Structure 1
């Protein structure tokens, strides 16, 4: 899934860049004075944030692909080799949680109060991704 997200952000960055811009400017929230001081209106900082998220998504993809390679390469291996092969899988899952929980839900939804926005709100999508990620962590641990 990470590879598709990266592909979309590289080949059609407009949609998610606009998402980052609206989240950071807080222009679709209720404009409460108590939170508006957090808004960032600099297009340069919007692009830096977008590229930073893209770099994290690339890390998720690379770690997950390397993890998949090591797991496939160690199918049927002794238990200690199999457990060691899980490392990059765990790192890929943790990187995914950094992106979709820490960045999207904590920073985007809570700090920039995007949960108030009807059109620029990623809580549902990021929650879905986080639940799938946590299920993957559990399944990898049980494997």
Structure 2
């Protein structure tokens, strides 16, 4: 995957959100951490709809259901924040790295403009990993 200078990397899972920018060159990317906003996971109505679609064939205790709704609300909040950054021209090149479940939920909330600046998606859990490991995974 090409990683042009200035590309923003959103590293996401059901609980965490990390942001990096490629401050290096395309051939030798260097990920520099960007301050991550505090997001309020308040879109539980959307999370509940997403969760109900996913869990029709699954059963779980109420606590398990609440945890899944919180995760869905978190990734929805991340997707909405990324949409706002793209629409305000703060992000013009984006790569999203998220566990497969979170990535699927995020895709449902992508704005058309975000889809236009999206250079790639990586369905892996890489939150909390060193930047060199993230770069290695992106190049594989």
Common topology (TM > 0.5): no
Q: Which of structures 1 and 2 has the bigger CA Rg? A: 1
Q: Which structure's residues are more often strand, by fraction? A: 2
TM-score, structure 2 as length reference: 0.31
TM-score, structure 1 as length reference: 0.30
Q: Which structure's residues are more often helix, by fraction? A: 1
